[in-house]
Structure 1
Amino acid sequence: MHYKKLLISCSLFTMLFPMAPAVYADPPPWAPAHGWRKKNDPYYTGYAGRQWSDDYGISSGRCNREAVGTALGGIVGGAIGSTVGKGDGRAVAIILGTVIGAVVGNKIGRDLDNADRGCLGHTLELGAQNRPVTWVNPDNRLNYTVTPLSGFSANGQKCRNYKLNMRGDGINDTRSERACLATDGTWKPYRG
């Protein structure tokens, strides 16, 4: 008799509370690629949804400055936006404008090269919130640390807050900055 009551109770429970199918969520696009994704999905999804074939070490917290410099090649100045920002030829996200020069003074602004701009832009594109990414410029001997923070929208653009720290050669400066993803695919300082 006891088993009969248990069977009826279980049947009634199952009818009243049917089991929902298991739902598996994809990892967030900024999550480091572990397991299946790392082995089978060769792309890294950026802040705005664009897929990148290389993260240049961003997900591990250390930008491979040399690889970024090689990917950017001889691209200089204003040509960065027109070449890097279009189609599949864009291998590295980059930040353009006078963000660094205006932020930390002319000397560092002059010393910042395209590889540094690439590391900064790619960190904004692929970096996880509150996870610092570092690199060293061997020419000016400065250590850079960029920590992407919260995102926001401005004028229809996706933007991010971030902290930038530079150390070395008598400099130890940390700034809170903002940048937005322009329509050409480059990151530009937020002017709000």
Structure 2
Amino acid sequence: MKKLSAVVLALALMTPLASCTGQYNKGQSGAVMGGVGGAVVGQAIGKSTEATLIGVAVGTMLGYIVGNEMDKYDRQQLNYVYETGPSGRQSSWQNPDSGNTYTVTPQPAVQSSSGTCRKAEIQAVIDGRNETTYSTACRDASGRWVIQ
């Protein structure tokens, strides 16, 4: 009964976090969901509090890695648009993991106190919801675009 209580406690602690994941990035959401899954698997395999805690730790780490990779794909695509996209012309992609789609319209590069910068309008369909946002990226010392 004590072992079952540990699983219930772990799930009770993780469930409120999982419900809030919409306001965090995919890496954080993946960490929460991985932690919950890891707790269940750890308890099922090891049938002890220690196994449950190890499952939480491993699941959290793996969930973060997987979730962060999905974010990284979109950042790479956006960086490519900043680097090569013609001003005023839309570039689009669909994230193969999330299914989210993005259409980015970059503006001409300008010189500012931060160096060479470019603005862009980003239209996204995320989980079926249309969202529009604006971003600015500036080149860093190594020439990479960094979103401000």
Query: What is the TM-score normalised by the length of structure 1?
Result: 0.40
> Residue deviations 1:99-138, cap 9 Å, x none?
xxxxx95246765432221111011011001101101012
Corresponding residue number in structure 1 for 2:144: 186
Structure 1 residue 139 displacement after superposition: 1.1
| Counterpart-to-counterpart distance in 2, 1:109 and 1:173 | 20
Q: Which amino acid aligns with 1:106?
A: Y
Name 1:121's counterpart in structure 2: 79
Q: 1:142 to 1:165 in 2, by over 3 A?
A: same
Distance 1:138 1:169, change over 3 A: same
In structure 2, what is the Cα distance between the partners aligned to 1:105 and 1:187?
A: 25
Q: Structure 1 residues 186 and 136, CA, compared in 2 at 3 Å: closer, same or farther?
A: same
What is the CA-CA distance between 1:189 and the residue it aligns to?
2.0
Counterpart residue number, 2:91:
133
SS in 2 for 1:125: helix
- Paired positions, count: 87
For residues 168 and 146 of structure 1, do their structure 2 counterparts lie closer, same or farther at Cα, with a shift above 3 Å needed? same
Q: Counterpart of 2:93 in structure 1: which amino acid?
A: W
For 1:178 and 1:130, how far apart are their aligned partners in 2?
14
Using a 3 Å threshold, how does the CA distance of structure 1 residues 151 and 109 change in structure 2: closer, same or farther? farther
Asked if 1:169 corresponds to 2:127, the answer is yes
Query: 1:106 is matched with which residue?
Result: 24
Quote the Cα distance in structure 2 between the aligned partners of 1:149 and 1:138: 26
Match of 1:159 in 2: 117
- Structure 1 alignment gaps of length 5 or more: 1-103
Report the alpha carbon displacement of residue 170 of structure 1 after superposing the two structures with TM: 2.9
- C-alpha deviation, 1:150, in angstroms: 2.8
Give the distance between the partners of 2:135 and 2:84, measured in 1 at CA: 17
Q: TM-score, normalised by structure 2?
A: 0.51
Please list every run of 5 or more consecutive structure 2 residues that lacks an aligned counterpart in the other structure: 1-21, 29-66
CA RMSD across the alignment:
2.3
* AA partner of residue 105 (structure 2): T
- Greater fraction helix: 2
TM-aligned CA distance change 1:183 to 1:114, over 3 Å:
same
Report runs of 4+ in structure 1 exceeding 6 Å deviation: none
Structure number with larger C-alpha Rg: 1
Change in CA separation of 1:155 and 1:144 when aligned onto 2, cut-off 3 Å: same
